Every structure is written in C-alpha cells, then in structure tokens.
Structure 1
Amino acid sequence: MVRFAFVGRVSTEDLQDPASSRQWQLARAGDLVEKAGGEIVAEFFDVGQSRAVAWPQRLEGGRLLAALEDPRRGFEAVVVGEPQRVFYDNQYALTFPLFVHFGVQLWVPEIGGAVDPDSEAHNLIMSMYAGMSKAERRRIQLRVRTAMAAQAELEGRFLGGRPPYGYRLVDAGPHPRPDLAALGARLHRLDLDSETAPVVRRIFALRLAGYGARRIVNKLNSEGVLCPSAYDRARNRHRSADGWSVGTVLAILANPRYTGHQVWNKQSKAETLLDVRNVGLGTRTVSRWNPGEKWVYSREAVHPAIVSTADFRRAQTTPATRGPQRTYLLRGLLRCGLCGRGLEGAWNNGRANYRCQAVRAAEHVVADKRRNVFVREDTVLARLGGLLIRALTPPGDRFEEITIPRDLPEQADLCRELALTLIYDPVAQTLRADRGDNERIIAYLR
C-alpha cells in the first residue's frame, strides 16, 4: 500500500473558509488515493498564504520540501487536491524536479494519477495549470480593482482604512450586497472630528498665510497641540507621540480628501523578487505610492469638507515667506540632556534660543513633571570660552597658557573642529561638553 502526503493551500484574502477549503481539497485527493489503494498518512496545508508565495517561503510548503530530503519521511508519494491551489506561475517547474530527485511521486486528480516526469503531455498540462493559476489571480485582482475604482468615483464610497486626521468614521447604512448585509456588514463614511478638524483647518490657514511646514510644526508644538499619534494612541501604539513633525504636516497639506472628495488608489501593491539572483525564492508584496494622475476621485463631494478645493490648490503652490535672516551660532552643537536629541533653533524676543521638540518623550518626565528644554544662545555663549579653555588644557597645565579666539562665531567653529558635543541639562542647569575621549567638562549656567 502506497503511503501519501496531502498538500493544499487556502488564502484568506478573499474571505475563504479554511476549514471548508481544506475539506473539499482533501476529499478530492482522498478519492484519487482510495482508487489507487493507498492511504494518506501526512498533511501539509497552508492557511493564509497567497498562491504567489514560493514553496520555500510557505510554512507547510517549506516543511514538505524539507521532508522530501528525509529518507524516513514516512510516505512515498504526494497528492494535491487541485493543482491551481498549490502551483503558480513557474512554481511547478521549480519544484517538481525535487520530487523526481528524491524519488517521491506527485499525484494530481486532473492527471488521474502520478505525474510522469518523462511525459511531455503531463509536463505541459501541469505547466498550463500553473499558468491558469496566475491568470486567475490576475483576473480577480483586475475585477476587484475595477469595481473599487467605480465605487470610489461614482458612489464616493469609503473603501476602508483609517480615517484621515480631522475626520471620524460614522455609520452609512447596511452593505448593498444582501449576503453581507445579512451578516451585519455596514458601510461607513467620513464625518468631521470636532476636536481635530479645527487643527487641520488651521494648518491650511497658516500655509496660505505663508508659513512653511517647519514654522507650522514649531507653532503647534509650542502651543501643546496633540499630534495625530498622540491624539489617538489606541491606533498608533507603533508610532512616537513626541509631537508634530514636518512629514506629518506635509502629509496633511497634500491630502485631497480634506476637500470633501473621496480619493482612492493613492497606493498600490507590487511584487518584487526576494533575490534577483535566485528567482526560485519567489516575490514579496510591497506598497508603493502611485503618481497623482492614477488617483481616483469621487465626482461629487461625499463628506464634509475642511478646506475648499480652491484653497487646497493654493496651499500646494503658495511659497513660504521668509523672515529676516537669522543666525544660530550653535547650530548642530547642542543636545538635550534628557532625551539626547539635538536642540533646534527657536527665535524669540529678537534673539536666538534653542529647544527640544520631543517634549512629549518619556525622558522629559522628571519627578512626575514634564520638563521643557529651552536655553538662550547668549547664556551658552557667555560660558563657551571657559569650556573651550578647559577642553584644550592638557592635564597639569595652567589654564592661562591656552589661547582661544575672542570672536564668538570663531569659538563656535572651534567647537566643531574639536568635535565637542554641548549637552544642556535643564534640571541641573549645566552645560556639559563631551569630547571624543568621553572626558566631560561641566559649566554651570545658573
């Protein structure tokens, strides 16, 4: 009696039931094995794996390939329930030689028995089924994407994903498909979030007033406005809640959904080779941004607008106005003594200052109190000369024997030449100069 191993696969992408799919594939394989007087003694069934995933990358498929090499595998043949389920594109051509090499037969219901490695007809049929599998997947993708494009353009339907900052999801009635509606599926649409919509409206207003993204970020952070990841921690645990960033503001300014129109196909999935030198490893799916001309817009506004279409377009082209030239002598030299991040320039009251933007970082909580890190440039410059003298004086030498530039810009440049890092501690009110040899030189700013 021939002992068989059953191999199958089910993908959950199209909401298939793994248990039902396994049953019918196993039933087809079982009928073929029973007619041959054999017995299925092992099972390799992948759940949630796309057919495009190569055998070595599948959990059960990879386990079967490893078993082929084991003389004590416990079976002499492998049977499939449906060839399109397990072979895709070039997978048959890459996998079947392993069966032949290790002397394991491959049984397929459509062949009516074992695949004959010397039969051109068998190889042609199996290659055809693998090609049909690829064509079937492509047809499904095309139908789904075409349907979603029509739903977005003609109906303005919300097609999933998280709502943009400034909106929330509300119920839009039962699903139009009766079978899904019977299961309780509902449609959703975007509605204004009373707390965050005014923030988005203000960001556009600041942009139209000539503010650049960096100025908008500084203004929002200085006022303590919660950034998107801090406002909704439940869905953003993977993101930092340290405050607004330039990328966040630019993403809001570039999102056309704030005009009230639904937009779909901003991103798409593409398959790329895992290893260009070994195509047998298969592909991986990556998300890529589509060019603007491929985005699909709803013909009508379908949710409340936060900004008009005209203002949105102006926000894309309005140049940021520049104020008077401002000089930060210590640019790139100062770091936060709490979190280690670089301090950024902040011009207030007609003078240069420096502050840490990561005020919401956990390291900024000291003695149960959140600490802002802010230091005036002139306060640091007043102690910079002394720091440089101490940094340049060899052990045992007298400080007065060291000469440093009197000009403050030249002192700042000397710090860069010496690779000094100036670390400001707002709690102890100290400025620490760390050298490359880890020697620490401290000046008190009190």
Structure 2
Amino acid sequence: MLTAFGPPIDLSDLSNYIQVDTRPRRSAFVGRVSTKDHQNPSSSIPRQVTLAAQRLEPGEEFAQYYWDVESGMLPPEARGLGPREMYEALRVPTPRDGGLQDLLAHAELMGITHVLAERSDRVARAMLTSLTVEHELQKAGVEVVYANEPTGGTESGRLRTRRYGQVDAELYKIAMNEMSMGGQVQHAVGGWNHGIPPYPYVAVVDENAPPPTRGRFGEARPKKKLVPHPDVRRFDATRELCRLRREEYLKAADIIAILSADPERYPIEGQWTHNRVEGLIGNPKLTGYQVYNRKASRTGRPGYSRWNPISKWVWSPGPVHEAVVSLEQWKQAQEVTAMLQAGTEGGPLLRIQAAAGRRGLTVTLVDSTGSHTRYRIGAQQVVLPTPIPDAVAQQIIENLECAA
C-alpha cells in the first residue's frame, strides 16, 4: 500500500523505492464439488473457474487447475486422494493438475503467486482447514484470492468479509450435520437398517414404511428392515459363535478353528476371520434392536473409523427384527470380550473358570511365587505358570471335560 505521506523530494529513481516481486505472476485455480452424485462436477467446476477468473489480470489465464470432488469437511491431509481413473470418468472439461494436497505441496515449486477460488468454502467448509490452507500458502509467498470478496478498501475490511464468509461456511456445515444426524437417528428409531446387514440377516424393503420422496438429489432410497437370512444355518452359526465367547470364554482364533472345521454347519463366503468373528460378537443388532452411530467415520484419517462409546449409540425403542441372542446374553459376551482383552493372563484363566463352572466347580487362588500360581479346582490343586500359556489352559480344560 502506498502511503499518503511521501518524501519531500522525488526519490522514485532510487532502486529500492518500490519493492518488486521479481517472480512473474502465475495464478492457479482451486475448486471443489461435494460429491459426484449430489452435484454435477462437469458443470459446477467450469462455473467456478469462470467466476474465479474474474480476478485474473487482463490477458492472464490460469497456469494450473487444482480441484477435488469430495466433502469440504475433510482436513487437508485427507483431500485429493481419489484415484485418477475416477476423475477421468467424470469427463469434466476443466483440466486437473491435482487436488488440494498437490497444490499445497507444489505451489512454491511451480512458482505460483496467486491462488483464486470462487469463495472460501470451495477450499473447505471448516474454518480451521481454510485458515490452515491460507497459512501454508502464505508461507510459500502465495496470495489467496476469493472472487466473492470486494476489491479496494482497507485490509481489515477485506479480512472481515473473508472471516465472516468462513464462519458462515462452518455454521452451514454444522447445521447440515445436525439435520443429517437427526434424520439418521429417526431412521434407526423407526427400526430401519443402516449399512451392510450382519451375517445372519438380509435387508428387505419395508412395505409399511412411508414412501420415498424425491428431493434435491433425486429419489430417496427405500427404507429397509432386517429379516433372517434365507440360509437358516447362519442364525445357528451366529448363536454358537456368541455362545463360545459368552460361555466358553474362547478367543477369536479358537472360535475360528471350531467354525472352520465344520463348513457345512457354519457356512461363510470366503473364510472366517478375526474381524468377522469379533464384529459379530460385538454387533448389538443381533439382539433384535436397531442400533446406529456405533462408529465415527469422519476422523480425518482416510479409511479409518473410530468406535464411539456405547453411551452415544442410538437404539430403537424396542426390538424390530428377530433376535439371535438376548440383550443380557449380548452384554455378557461384551464383558467376556473385555476381560479377554484385559491381559494375557486373564484370558486363559477365565476359560479354565468357565470349564470348571460347567462341572459345578470353582477355581480359587491358593498362593503365588510370581512365576507360578497355585489354584484349587474343586478338591484338586494345580500349579500353573504366570502368565498361563494357552496350551496349558487348553490341557486343563480337556482334563476337566474328560473327568466329567
């Protein structure tokens, strides 16, 4: 900004009278569309380019184009990760030199001096993210310009307009999340399923549900409820799987061995895995209730979902489909799972206690030396290493079963 209080004589011939950026002006476009389904990238991105281009110098053209098709709620490190093939299939007439991550990584290297966007929420809806992007580009000597901001005036006025716009973008994001969450909660309360049906179920359209309406993004998907899978063996397999954890205190590897040994009785596509077994044991939908919000999918880490605490889960007021296990049985299984995960010693000992309990016996600690512990099982005493190896625990369980 030139000052109104200049020198008393003409000093414009001095070399440092005006600081000149020796870099040639090189502007890049940055844009974003929420999703390929809810907005049309082939029309939205070119429209954004047209609006942002109004802030180019006369005769100037964009040197590069950076744009993404994804949610503006994602942090910078999770942006621009879509495969090249996806973007090519969209047939957007605007060239694409990368996404937001590529812009941040290459701006200085490519000699970019200005980044132009239609408005701030095309960078991100979260204010912290847009501020982070601006800060990183500023460190590289890049000026960020939004086409909807006024020209001229004071820097404080321009900044006030920008920050108000970023606040509005974040408030819009929060309001949309609140409305979306409210709709998903009512969906679960009504007994309708979210996501892929668990192993013993299939999802079918609920003929008694309100008919889907056509909204902004087309016709809504029909509401579906869970019903037992046509293969009745799946219900029996799931009951046995849960029983093995609840009553036998078995770990996933032991349960997998039992299920895999009898594929006719316990059918599965592919093979039984640790994630499948633990996922079924921990799935509350097996109780006949519909449950939502078990996971937080937006964690800032691509492909990673964080488990929410049970206090945040949304349950239907009552059972809405046929149950595999009761609520009490499901809770017992979760308690056993927690004990098995608590430590290497607790798991084998719990299994021994379960086996003894089936014979009406109790397991009592007598004394311990640190490396070994003596237990009384019924009228007998045994000395076991600390911690108890799985193989030793299995041998004791087999001896108890043979004695029966």
Match of 2:317 among 296, 299, 321: 299
TM-fit CA distance, 1:229: 11
Q: 1:38 to 1:227 in 2, by over 3 A?
A: farther
Q: Are 2:223 and 1:187 equivalent residues in the alignment?
A: yes
Task: Tell me, in whole angstroms, the C-alpha distance in 1 between the residues paired with 2:143 and 2:291.
Answer: 51
| Partner of residue 231, structure 1 | 268
| Partner of residue 43, structure 2 | 20
* TM-score normalized with structure 1 length: 0.56
Q: Partner of 1:345: helix, strand, or coil?
A: helix
* Aligned residue-pair number: 320
TM-fit CA distance, 1:27: 2.5
TM-fit CA distance, 1:329: 8.3
Identity %: 21
Q: What do the CA deviations read for 1:53-74 (whole angstroms, capped 9, x no partner)? A: 227965522333344424x64x
Q: What do the CA deviations read for 1:251-278 (whole angstroms, capped 9, x no partner)? A: 5444331222111112224647xxxxxx
Match of 1:77 among 114, 129, 133: 114
Q: Partner of 1:321: helix, strand, or coil?
A: helix
Task: Tell me, in whole angstroms, the C-alpha distance in 2 between the residues paired with 1:28 and 1:139.
Answer: 26
Q: Partner of 2:354: helix, strand, or coil?
A: coil
Q: Partner of 2:394: helix, strand, or coil?
A: strand
Task: Tell me, in whole angstroms, the C-alpha distance in 2 between the residues paired with 1:103 and 1:215.
Answer: 55
TM-fit CA distance, 1:79: 1.8
| Partner of residue 163, structure 1 | 197
The structure with the greater share of residues assigned to strand is: 1
TM-fit CA distance, 1:8: 0.8
TM-fit CA distance, 1:343: 9.8
Q: Where do 1:279-358 residues align within 5 Å?
A: 287-309=305-327, 312=330, 321-323=354-356, 325=377, 345-346=394-395, 350=399
Task: Tell me, in whole angstroms, the C-alpha distance in 1 between the residues paired with 2:50 and 2:142.
Answer: 21
| Partner of residue 86, structure 1 | 123
Q: Are 2:65 and 1:29 equivalent residues in the alignment?
A: no
Q: Are 2:175 and 1:139 equivalent residues in the alignment?
A: yes
Amino acid of the residue matched to residue 65 of structure 1?
Answer: L
Q: Are 2:266 and 1:268 equivalent residues in the alignment?
A: no
| Partner of residue 43, structure 1 | 65
Task: Tell me, in whole angstroms, the C-alpha distance in 1 between the residues paired with 2:335 and 2:135.
Answer: 59
Task: Tell me, in whole angstroms, the C-alpha distance in 2 between the residues paired with 1:4 and 1:219.
Answer: 58
Task: Tell me, in whole angstroms, the C-alpha distance in 2 between the residues paired with 1:181 and 1:91.
Answer: 27
Task: Tell me, in whole angstroms, the C-alpha distance in 1 between the residues paired with 2:216 and 2:224.
Answer: 14
Task: Tell me, in whole angstroms, the C-alpha distance in 2 between the residues paired with 1:181 and 1:15.
Answer: 6
| Partner of residue 340, structure 2 | none
TM-fit CA distance, 1:231: 1.1
| Partner of residue 236, structure 2 | 198
Mind listing any 5+ residue stretches in structure 2 that lack a counterpart? Answer: 1-23, 81-97, 337-349, 362-376
Q: 1:306 to 1:41 in 2, by over 3 A?
A: same
Q: Partner of 1:43: helix, strand, or coil?
A: strand
Q: What do the CA deviations read for 1:326-383 (whole angstroms, capped 9, x no partner)? A: 9798999999xxxxxx898356874999xxxxxxxxxxxxxxxxxxxxxxxxxxxxxx
RMSD: 4.7
Amino acid of the residue matched to residue 284 of structure 2?
Answer: P
TM-fit CA distance, 1:199: 1.5
Q: 1:28 to 1:165 in 2, by over 3 A?
A: same
Task: Tell me, in whole angstroms, the C-alpha distance in 2 between the residues paired with 1:220 and 1:347.
Answer: 19
Q: Partner of 1:39: helix, strand, or coil?
A: coil
Q: Partner of 2:160: helix, strand, or coil?
A: helix
| Partner of residue 286, structure 2 | 258
Q: What do the CA deviations read for 1:206-254 (whole angstroms, capped 9, x no partner)? A: 677x433359945961782459998123xxxxxxx4x576x86565444
Contact 1:270–1:285 (Cα < 8 Å) also in 2:
no
Q: Partner of 1:90: helix, strand, or coil?
A: helix
Task: Tell me, in whole angstroms, the C-alpha distance in 1 between the residues paired with 2:335 and 2:133.
Answer: 55
Task: Tell me, in whole angstroms, the C-alpha distance in 2 between the residues paired with 1:56 and 1:304.
Answer: 39
Task: Tell me, in whole angstroms, the C-alpha distance in 1 between the residues paired with 2:140 and 2:398.
Answer: 80
Q: Partner of 2:204: helix, strand, or coil?
A: strand
Q: Partner of 1:7: helix, strand, or coil?
A: strand
Task: Tell me, in whole angstroms, the C-alpha distance in 1 between the residues paired with 2:335 and 2:387.
Answer: 31
* TM-score normalized with structure 2 length: 0.61
